[in-house]
């Protein structure tokens, strides 16, 4: 009865304040328009990545048949699509709700989660033009392969993807099939399909602890990275028509025109939370098949296994204040110190390692779309009002700006913008009044740049990890009612 009353109260509260939810995602603010296509193509060698099977069915848990990426790319601002925009919920809400419920071992019913999605995102669309021509011209653009958190979906980073594409970056957001996405549908060209929903180590065999389970998930992600890179390389080489023909999502009709337009020699591998763990895992490969030249991990995971600290590529690690501020024991050290050592390793080996925290104030989900969809709602119900004081759009644009500075470095080795700021605070410093800061960033690791002490990127203008469930937990206010 108590559980029923709590859930009923939650439903009524969500409905009462549903007017605080944003009706649409904002338009992108960069120089270019933004196009998007969904690409799902079969892998050359369908296989089981590990020996892990589901206890109930004995079917393989980490099975690689296809890879699915959502590609965002620059277009002419006057280009308009005749196709409908992609929905923010690319999979049916009931399937996503089931996956999220399974992530919590059923402690919240799928029906309740589905009600939340019905209010927050049932008609929400991603404001990119679907399956249109690439930006006219001959210029080639850098590539970013992005790995989402756990459990989140690649679509839930659409605003970051679109903002970067509007500034001249081709983004490939990977939809992982490693049990970290609430739901994804594997589709084949012949019309058949099967669902993959989120799962934990409790439902698989052999028996394993969290660390081993996450290690196997990362193996799956590495295999997906390799296949995604092959797809992108094929497009860059002029085989876009073949990729389009193999695409079970029936998009990419103009991929044949992409030859020479995406520069795989300027590939950055990026990720958020558990996705950052996948990025750092990739960096340990002595002979990587993914030709990344730099790494951009946001908020490396705290509950997703150890973090490799030996890095030999340029790296930028932007933390949210929530991630840096809270002391977190981490395999015999503090998480902040481990992340700092990663950036320091890169700095020592490449001369290009950065670690910084976005202040005034940001949370773990600030890189995602959630704050843009329900910012007023989230602020209204946040127990500690200091957690969300920076407008979600402004916060996301801060991440976009520093990402752009990093891409400039990757392209021509020029240190500009926020990256030209020397270290301001070697350790995170909590200011009672963040307004005294000249910039919302604290820089913890950075190359010494003579004669530059302030950001030129415009930056001065202005944990719920628990398996990293915060994107949807905020939406459903589960924290308020259950903690």
| Enzyme catalytic residues | 273, 299, 364
* Distance separating alpha carbons of residues 97 and 372, to the nearest angstrom: 21
Q: Which residues contact 210 (CB under 8 A, 6 or more apart)?
A: 201, 303, 305
Are 337 and 344 a contacting pair, CB within 8 Å? no
* Distance separating alpha carbons of residues 243 and 235, to the nearest angstrom: 7
* Distance separating alpha carbons of residues 377 and 199, to the nearest angstrom: 29
* 442 phi/psi in degrees, rounded to 5: -105, 125
Dihedral (CA of 225, 368, 482, 96) sign:
negative
Closest Cα to residue 131, out of 175, 79, 169, 94?
Answer: 79
- Beta strands (DSSP E) in 157-306 are 170-174, 183-187, 193-197, 204-205, 262-272, 292-298
* Distance separating alpha carbons of residues 121 and 268, to the nearest angstrom: 30
Are 14 and 119 a contacting pair, CB within 8 Å? yes
* Distance separating alpha carbons of residues 116 and 122, to the nearest angstrom: 9
C-alpha distance across the termini of the chain, in Å: 18
Containing 41, the helix (H) or strand (E) segment is: strand 33-48
Structure tokens at 436: 């005294």
Are 355 and 343 a contacting pair, CB within 8 Å? yes
* Distance separating alpha carbons of residues 428 and 205, to the nearest angstrom: 41
Q: Which residues contact 419 (CB under 8 A, 6 or more apart)?
A: 316, 354, 402, 405, 406, 409, 446
């Amino acid at each position: 009865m108590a559980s029923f009353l709590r859930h009923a109260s939650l439903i009524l509260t969500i409905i009462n304040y549903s007017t605080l939810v944003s009706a649409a995602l904002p338009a992108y603010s960069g120089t270019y328009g933004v196009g998007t296509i969904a690409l799902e193509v079969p892998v050359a060698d369908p296989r089981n990545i590990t020996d892990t099977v589901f206890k109930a069915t004995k079917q393989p848990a980490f099975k690689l048949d296809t890879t699915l990426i959502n590609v965002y790319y620059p277009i002419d601002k006057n280009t308009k699509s005749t196709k409908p925009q992609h929905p923010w919920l690319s999979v049916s809400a009931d399937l996503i709700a089931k996956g999220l419920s399974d992530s919590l071992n059923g402690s919240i019913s799928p029906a309740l989660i589905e009600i939340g999605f019905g209010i927050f995102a049932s008609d929400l669309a991603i404001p990119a033009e679907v399956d249109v021509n690439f930006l006219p011209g001959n210029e080639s653009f850098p590539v970013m392969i992005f790995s989402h958190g756990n459990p989140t979906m690649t679509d839930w980073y659409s605003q970051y993807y679109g903002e970067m594409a509007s500034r001249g970056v081709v983004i490939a957001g990977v939809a992982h099939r490693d049990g970290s996405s609430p739901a994804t549908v594997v589709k084949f060209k012949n019309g058949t399909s099967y669902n993959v929903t989120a799962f934990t180590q409790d439902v698989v065999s052999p028996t394993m602890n969290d660390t081993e389970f996450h290690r196997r998930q990362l193996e799956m992600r590495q295999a997906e990275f390799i296949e995604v890179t092959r797809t992108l390389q094929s497009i860059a080489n002029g085989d876009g028509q073949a990729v389009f023909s193999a695409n079970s999502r029936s998009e990419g009709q103009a991929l044949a025109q992409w030859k020479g337009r995406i520069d795989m020699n300027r590939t950055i591998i990026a990720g958020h939370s558990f996705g950052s763990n996948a990025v750092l895992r990739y960096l340990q490969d002595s002979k990587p098949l993914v030709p990344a030249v730099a790494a951009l991990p946001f908020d490396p995971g705290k509950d997703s296994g150890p973090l490799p600290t030996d890095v030999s590529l340029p790296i930028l690690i932007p933390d949210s204040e929530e991630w840096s501020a809270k002391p977190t024991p981490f395999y015999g050290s503090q998480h902040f110190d481990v992340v700092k050592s990663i950036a320091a390793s890169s700095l020592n080996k490449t001369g290009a390692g950065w670690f910084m925290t976005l202040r005034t104030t940001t949370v773990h989900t600030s890189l995602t779309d959630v704050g843009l969809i329900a910012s007023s709602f989230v602020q209204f119900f946040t127990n500690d009002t200091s957690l969300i004081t920076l407008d979600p759009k402004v916060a996301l644009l801060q991440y976009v700006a520093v990402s752009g500075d990093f891409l400039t470095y990757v392209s021509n080795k020029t240190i500009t913008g926020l990256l030209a700021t020397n270290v301001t605070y070697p350790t995170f410093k909590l200011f009672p009044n963040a307004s005294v800061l000249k910039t919302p960033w604290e820089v913890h690791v950075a190359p010494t740049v003579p004669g530059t002490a302030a950001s030129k990127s415009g930056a001065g203008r202005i944990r719920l990890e628990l398996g990293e469930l915060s994107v949807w937990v905020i939406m459903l206010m589960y924290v308020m009612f259950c903690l």
